[in-house]
């Protein structure tokens, strides 16, 4: 008997229906759990109200879900073919933002398209993964291991990272660098090259420090010693740790977080939402979030392993790295393990751009999963 | 293709390494969560509570002070103040303008309001005006619609119903100053007032009570979200004084009627309880608890009659002829005079090169000790002192409470001075002169006493030589039964008291003009006056200026010590009138009226007490003494 969901075995292209039923629903459930957690916390952040955040978040998630499924339905060969074009479009947008920012007033991170604001740096996170995946897909191991072969992808990474850095958005620039670094490592660039780059980086640190903005320096110094300025820059971290710690194992209860509801906790609906969650639901709630995200990453890894194509594997793992960095940097930051760099917690923090960017990533990952049996040539 | 396979293998191997790395990092996060949320949870819970809970001290009502009959003499009055909450008014300027139409605000007040509004969050109430009258409060409430954001707040402020009449007894309360010992968190509360002088200071601990706590939850901006816990404080205890307001008022009024400056103390001779304690002129302590203006303060300081000084304990005066009581007792005890020893007064006595005069220019002739007291003859006491010497005189004076502090508990109490040979040598490095014994014997020279010491002295004489000590608080029966007896011969004491009786009750004696006979009750006492200026030889030869011809500052001080009833003393009084012009003219009439009032108000002392013991108090006041 013919079962439509078993058609994935076929190497030929599938119908949309077939593709839809080939989506990994467990994966989507895990993503939805995180988004639901986000809605819950945003409801609490507004002192038990759907406005201004919770309902919006839900709507955005629904919209993001649509985009995710749409992207999942796309043929993977399309991503392969247009990877570089997508990368160049993103790069041009980044330059546009940079130029506009110079003309306009100070830091500018988005392009206003009327209905929606696009943050090119978010687009670049995906575009870079796709472009690098395509580059390494078409290169031989020999090329990858040679110095000459590593120069084009290195430039592909450094140029946008530099543009983002001068926006200035240190967090996103570092995420681009780390994601690319992980991809370089995965494809087999020799470890000694990383050591050389790290050493060079360490030497360049004092010079880089010189170029950092005052507030960026402050954040790093504050991270190293939060008590340095308990009412200024250190205030956020100190209050975050108080909120977290006072939550204990089981938390203070939904809507009962004193630190968050009495406004001691800053940015509780965006960057510090994990703190609020840990205050109200305690370590149980915090571990739940970490665990579900761990599962999402593990699922992504399993998708990558199942994919027949090198491009597909690399795209899935690259995007998983990107997602992991969001999670790790945000949580480490609110726990006082990293400096405050302004990275939100995806799916939970309030914010449209990150929601769209992350849901798009999941769409492409699902696309890799659906097209796992398609072999891609080296064209 | 082989290389391609290798490429794929590298990818899988390296991906696994990265995957494990991610897992490890996420586990680090969980360890960190464990550290913060389990290991350090208690520390952070405390910090979170410190963040959100704000504790405010609740000020307990200050204890009330009562007189011996239960009349309130220091109380707390509702104090209304108008506050403005910036965020509750659409236009601050409009509201303040509307307020000014009801009640004018000075430029300085407006500036302070603006400053306070600027430096506080918009939900913090800012004081516009305090100490509002009822009328002003109702005006504000009537116009409430024009005054959005204006609220009326009531607190308690100290009020002294008898005002200046009691000021030197009760003292006053005022804001805590930097000098005050901050042993109680209440003292840190803004606007808290503590006893700064008098009974208010002496019984501060008792009157203050214990502060309560109001714990409330505040947000990061300090706004109170809700009340968590309220613990009421313990109100201050009441303090009962021995003062009788009726006598206090009477005594004070006697001074103010004639604009006298001075002091008067009325004691119960059996216990030393203070029934009236006056220092005049005085000041209004209510001004202090409200907050005194610089102008008022300067006026008080500039007044030549020194209203801020408590003359009853801080004023040191020569006792004048009232000291003859001590001289007589000492001389009788030493045996230098006998009850029937007579000296002849020829108005003048010469010792060495120095002439000593009697106050009476024609002299008294021959008199014994009782007659000498009666006429206050100076020559008799010069002769006596010459034989007695200073040491025995000083010793007797100390037995009766002179020359050292009584320790009544009020501040600025002075010890007075009873000189002796050792003192003079130490003070001036010179030996004692015989002539100095002479003038000491009539209460002049180095001798200084406070009115309270004089009251103590006369009370001890009146009660037959019991060592009572003046006190503002009632003695318990045990203390009453254990008052020590002064070693003094009863016969001599009676002899002195006979003299004191004659001073008042025999026509022609120094205080006869002030005598009274109220249902057979009479008073006894001794006048005294102390020269403030020196009478020159030239003046003696021509004519000694009369007291009312002299400027106020140069007139004599008038002193009177006395007691009543003369035959069975119950009340003793000491009156000092600064520059009053003499004991018999200024001090004795006041003393007489105070004693008479005390007797009239004492139901135990009336004839036909059986009938009157059932008469309501209000009616008793109307009993008219037989003249």
Which CATH number covers residue B516? 3.40.710.10
Contact call for A244 and B44, based on CB within 8 A: yes
Which residue carries 């006298």 as its tokens? B260
Domain identity same for B451 and B392: yes
Q: What one-character-per-residue DSSP string does B440-507 give?
A: HHTT-TT-BB-HHHHHHHHHHHHTTSB----BSSPPPHHHHHTPPBP---HHHHHHHHHHHHHHHHST
Q: Does A113 touch chain B (CB under 8 A)?
A: no
Nearest chain A residue (CA) to B28: A332
- Of B225, B240, B255, the residue at which a domain comes to its end is B240
Q: What is the pLDDT of residues A22-31, one digit of tens each?
A: 899 999 999 9
Q: Given this model, what pLDDT does residue B319 score?
A: 93
Among A242, A272, A345, the strongest candidate for a mutation testing the B interface, having the largest count of B CBs within 10 A, is A242
Is position B191 within any domain?
Answer: yes
User: Going by DSSP bridges, is the β-strand pair B65-66/B239-240 parallel, antiparallel, or unpaired?
Assistant: parallel
Say if residues B82 and B152 touch (Cβ distance below 8 Å): yes
B524: three-class secondary structure by DSSP: strand
Instruction: Give how far A227 is from chain B: nearest CA, Å.
Output: 14
Domain identity same for B251 and B337: yes
**Cα–Cα distance measured from residue A306 to residue A365, given in angstroms and rounded to the nearest whole number:** 12
**What CATH number did the domain enclosing B93 receive?**
3.90.1310.10
Q: What is the pLDDT of residues A120-169, one digit of tens each?
A: 888 999 999 999 999 999 998 888 889 999 999 999 999 999 998 887 77
Distances (CA, A) of B544 to A25, B416, B534, B548: 126, 30, 11, 12
Residue among B325, B329, B331 at smallest CA distance from B492: B329
Regions in chain B scoring below 70 on pLDDT: 1-4, 190, 289, 291, 533-544, 606-627
Domain identity same for B279 and B226: no
Q: Using CB atoms, which residue from B29, B48, B221 is nearest to A258?
A: B48
Domain identity same for B278 and B220: no
Residue B402 is part of which domain span?
245-297+304-620
- Of B240, B255, B280, the residue at which a domain comes to its end is B240
Contact call for B26 and A293, based on CB within 8 A: yes
- The alpha-carbon radius of gyration of chain B (Å, integer) is 36
Domain identity same for B149 and B263: no
**Cα–Cα distance measured from residue B307 to residue A43, given in angstroms and rounded to the nearest whole number:** 70
Contact call for B51 and A332, based on CB within 8 A: no
Say if residues B73 and B162 touch (Cβ distance below 8 Å): yes
Nearest chain B residue (CA) to A300: B19
Q: Given this model, what pLDDT does residue B276 score?
A: 95
Is position B627 within any domain?
Answer: no
A327: three-class secondary structure by DSSP: helix
Q: What is the pLDDT of residues B542-566, one digit of tens each?
A: 666 777 777 777 788 899 999 989 9
Length in residues, chain B: 627
Nearest chain A residue (CA) to B17: A186
Domain identity same for B146 and B264: no
Domain identity same for B210 and B288: no
Q: What one-character-per-residue DSSP string does A364-375 give?
A: HHHHHHHTTT--
Q: Using CB atoms, which residue from B33, B34, B225 is nearest to A262?
A: B225
Is position B414 within any domain?
Answer: yes
Interface list for A 305-344 with B (CB within 8 A): 305, 310, 313-314, 317, 321, 324, 327-328, 331-332, 335, 337
Say if residues A226 and A339 touch (Cβ distance below 8 Å): no
DSSP B191: T
Among B10, B17, B33, B217, the strongest candidate for a mutation testing the A interface, having the largest count of A CBs within 10 A, is B33
Active-site residue numbers of B? Answer: 321
Contact call for A248 and B32, based on CB within 8 A: no
Q: What one-character-per-residue DSSP string does B546-615 give?
A: PGGGS-GGGSPEEEEEEEESSSS--EEEEEEEET-S-IIIIIHHHHHHHHHHHHHH-GGGSTTHHHHTTS
| DSSP run (H or E) holding B230 | strand B224-231
Phi-psi region of B210 (alpha: psi -120 to 50; beta: other; left: phi over 0): beta
Q: Given this model, what pLDDT does residue A8 score?
A: 45
Q: Using CB atoms, which residue from A248, A304, A305 is nearest to B37?
A: A248
Counted domains in chain B: 2
For the whole model, what pTM was predicted? 0.70
Say if residues A263 and A296 touch (Cβ distance below 8 Å): no
Length in residues, chain A: 379
What's the ipTM?
A: 0.91
Among A132, A245, A278, the strongest candidate for a mutation testing the B interface, having the largest count of B CBs within 10 A, is A245
Domain identity same for B180 and B129: yes
Domain identity same for B542 and B561: yes
Is position B51 within any domain?
Answer: no
Contact call for B219 and A264, based on CB within 8 A: yes
Query: How far does Cα B477 stand from its chain's mean position?
Result: 26
**Cα–Cα distance measured from residue B190 to residue B183, given in angstroms and rounded to the nearest whole number:** 15
Say if residues A304 and A276 touch (Cβ distance below 8 Å): no
| DSSP run (H or E) holding B343 | strand B343-345
Q: Using CB atoms, which residue from B8, B14, B44 is nearest to A242?
A: B44
Domain identity same for B290 and B173: no
Domain identity same for B91 and B156: yes
Give the other-Cβ count within 10 Å of B334's Cβ.
17
Domain identity same for B251 and B209: no
pLDDT per residue, tens digit, chain A (379 aa), is 444 444 444 445 688 888 999 899 999 999 999 999 999 999 999 999 998 999 999 999 999 999 999 999 999 999 999 999 999 999 999 998 888 766 554 556 677 666 667 788 889 999 999 999 999 999 988 888 899 999 999 999 999 999 988 877 778 888 999 999 999 999 999 999 999 989 998 888 888 788 777 777 777 777 666 666 666 667 888 899 999 999 999 999 999 888 888 888 888 888 999 999 999 999 999 999 999 999 999 999 999 999 999 999 999 999 999 999 999 999 999 998 888 878 899 999 998 889 999 999 999 999 999 999 888 876 5
- Of B191, B217, B240, the residue at which a domain comes to its end is B240
Is position B514 within any domain?
Answer: yes
Q: What is the pLDDT of residues A319-343, one digit of tens each?
A: 999 999 999 999 999 998 888 878 8
Rounded (5°) CA angle B12-B18-B21: 145
Q: Using CB atoms, which residue from A141, A264, A337 is nearest to B10?
A: A141
Which residue carries 């043929």 as its tokens? A75
Is position B292 within any domain?
Answer: yes
Is position B39 within any domain?
Answer: no
Q: Does A259 touch chain B (CB under 8 A)?
A: yes
Is position B5 within any domain?
Answer: no
Instruction: Give how far B118 is from chain A: nearest CA, Å.
Output: 21
Q: For B270, what's the count of Cα atoms within 13 Å in the CB-facing half-sphere?
A: 10
């Amino acid at each position: 008997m013919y079962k439509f969901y078993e058609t994935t075995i076929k190497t030929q292209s599938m119908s949309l229906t077939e593709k839809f039923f080939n989506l990994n629903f467990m994966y989507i459930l895990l993503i939805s759990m995180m988004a639901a957690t986000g809605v819950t916390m945003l409801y609490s952040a507004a002192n038990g109200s759907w406005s201004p955040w919770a309902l919006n978040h839900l709507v955005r998630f629904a919209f993001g879900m649509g985009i995710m499924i749409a992207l999942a339905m796309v043929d993977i060969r399309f991503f392969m073919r247009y990877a570089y074009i997508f990368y160049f479009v993103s790069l041009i947008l980044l330059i546009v933002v940079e130029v506009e920012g110079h003309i306009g007033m100070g830091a500018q991170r988005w392009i206003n398209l009327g209905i929606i604001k696009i943050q090119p740096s978010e687009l670049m996170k995906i575009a870079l993964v796709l472009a690098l995946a395509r580059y390494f897909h078409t290169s031989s191991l020999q090329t990858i291991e040679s110095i000459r072969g590593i120069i084009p992808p290195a430039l592909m990474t450094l140029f946008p990272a530099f543009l983002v850095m001068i926006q200035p958005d240190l967090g996103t620039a570092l995420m681009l660098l780390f994601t690319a670094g992980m991809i370089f490592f995965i494809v087999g660039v020799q470890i000694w090259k990383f050591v050389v780059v790290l050493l060079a980086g360490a030497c360049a640190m004092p010079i880089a420090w010189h170029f950092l903005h005052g507030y960026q320096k402050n954040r790093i110094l504050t991270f190293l010693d939060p008590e340095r300025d308990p009412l200024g820059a250190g205030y956020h971290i100190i209050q975050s740790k108080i909120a977290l710690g006072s939550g204990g194992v089981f938390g203070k209860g939904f809507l009962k977080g004193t630190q968050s509801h009495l406004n001691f906790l800053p940015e509780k609906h965006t960057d510090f939402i994990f703190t609020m969650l840990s205050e109200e639901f305690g370590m149980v709630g915090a571990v739940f979030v970490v665990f579900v995200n761990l599962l999402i990453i593990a699922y992504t890894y399993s998708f990558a392993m199942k994919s027949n194509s090198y491009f597909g594997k690399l795209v899935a793992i690259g995007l998983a790295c990107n997602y992991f960095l969001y999670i790790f940097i945000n949580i480490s930051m609110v726990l006082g393990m990293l400096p405050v760099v302004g990275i939100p917690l995806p799916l939970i923090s309030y914010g449209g751009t990150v929601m769209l960017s992350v849901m798009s990533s999941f769409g492409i990952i699902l696309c890799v999963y659906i097209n796992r049996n398609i072999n891609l040539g080296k064209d | 293709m082989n290389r391609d396979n290798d490429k794929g293998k590298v990818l899988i191997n390296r991906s696994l390494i990265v995957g494990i790395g991610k897992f490890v990092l996420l586990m680090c996060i969980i360890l960190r969560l464990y550290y913060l949320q389990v290991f350090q949870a208690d520390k952070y819970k405390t910090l979170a509570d410190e963040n959100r809970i704000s504790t405010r001290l609740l000020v307990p009502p200050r204890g009330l002070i009562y007189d011996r009959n239960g009349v309130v003499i220091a109380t707390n009055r509702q104090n209304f103040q108008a506050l403005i909450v910036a965020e509750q008014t659409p236009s601050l300027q409009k509201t303040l303008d509307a307020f000014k139409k009801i009640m004018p605000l000075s430029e300085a007040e407006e500036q302070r309001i603006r400053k306070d509004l600027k430096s506080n969050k918009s939900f913090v109430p800012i004081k516009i005006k305090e100490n509002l009258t009822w009328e002003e409060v109702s005006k504000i409430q009537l116009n409430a619609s024009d005054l959005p954001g204006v609220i009326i707040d009531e607190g308690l402020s100290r009020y002294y119903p008898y005002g200046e009449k009691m000021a030197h007894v009760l003292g006053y309360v005022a804001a805590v100053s930097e000098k005050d010992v901050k042993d109680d968190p209440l003292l840190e509360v803004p606007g808290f007032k503590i006893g700064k002088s008098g009974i208010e200071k002496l019984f501060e601990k008792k009157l203050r009570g214990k502060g309560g706590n109001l714990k409330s939850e505040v947000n990061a901006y300090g706004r109170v979200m809700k009340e968590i816990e309220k613990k009421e404080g313990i109100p201050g205890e009441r303090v009962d004084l021995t003062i009788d307001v009726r006598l206090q008022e009477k005594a004070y009024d006697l001074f103010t009627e004639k604009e006298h400056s001075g002091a008067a103390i009325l004691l119960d001779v059996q216990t030393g309880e203070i029934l009236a304690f006056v220092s005049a002129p005085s000041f209004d302590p209510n001004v202090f608890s409200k907050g005194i203006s610089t102008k008022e303060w300067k006026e008080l300081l500039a007044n030549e009659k020194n209203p801020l000084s408590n003359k009853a304990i801080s004023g040191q005066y020569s006792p004048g002829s009232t000291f003859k009581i001590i001289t007589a007792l000492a001389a009788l005890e030493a045996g230098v005079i006998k009850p029937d020893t007579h000296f002849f007064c020829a108005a003048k006595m010469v010792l060495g090169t120095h002439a000593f005069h009697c106050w009476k220019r024609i002299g008294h002739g021959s008199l014994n000790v009782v007659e000498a007291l009666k006429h206050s003859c100076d020559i008799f006491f010069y002769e006596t002192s010459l034989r007695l010497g200073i040491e025995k005189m000083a010793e007797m004076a100390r037995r009766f409470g002179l020359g050292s502090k009584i320790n009544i508990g009020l501040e600025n109490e002075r010890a007075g001075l009873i000189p002796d040979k050792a003192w003079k040598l130490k003070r001036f490095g010179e030996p004692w002169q015989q002539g100095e014994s002479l003038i000491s014997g009539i209460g002049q020279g180095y001798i200084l006493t406070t009115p309270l010491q004089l009251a103590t002295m006369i009370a001890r004489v009146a009660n037959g030589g019991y060592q009572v000590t003046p006190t503002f608080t009632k003695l318990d029966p045990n203390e009453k039964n254990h008052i020590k007896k002064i070693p003094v011969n009863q016969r001599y004491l009676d002899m002195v008291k006979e003299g004191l009786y004659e001073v008042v009750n025999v026509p022609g004696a120094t205080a006869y003009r002030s005598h009274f006979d109220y249902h057979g009750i009479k008073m006894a006492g001794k006048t005294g006056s102390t020269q403030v200026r020196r009478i020159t030889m030239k003046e003696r030869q021509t004519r000694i200026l009369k007291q009312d011809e002299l400027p106020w500052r140069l007139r004599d001080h008038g002193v009177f010590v006395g007691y009543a009833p003369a035959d069975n003393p119950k009340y003793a009084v000491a009156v000092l009138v600064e520059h009053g012009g003499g004991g018999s003219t200024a001090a004795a009439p006041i003393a007489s009226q105070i004693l008479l009032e005390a007797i009239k108000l004492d139901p135990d002392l009336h004839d036909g007490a059986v009938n009157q013991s059932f008469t309501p108090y209000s009616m008793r006041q109307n009993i008219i003494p037989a003249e």
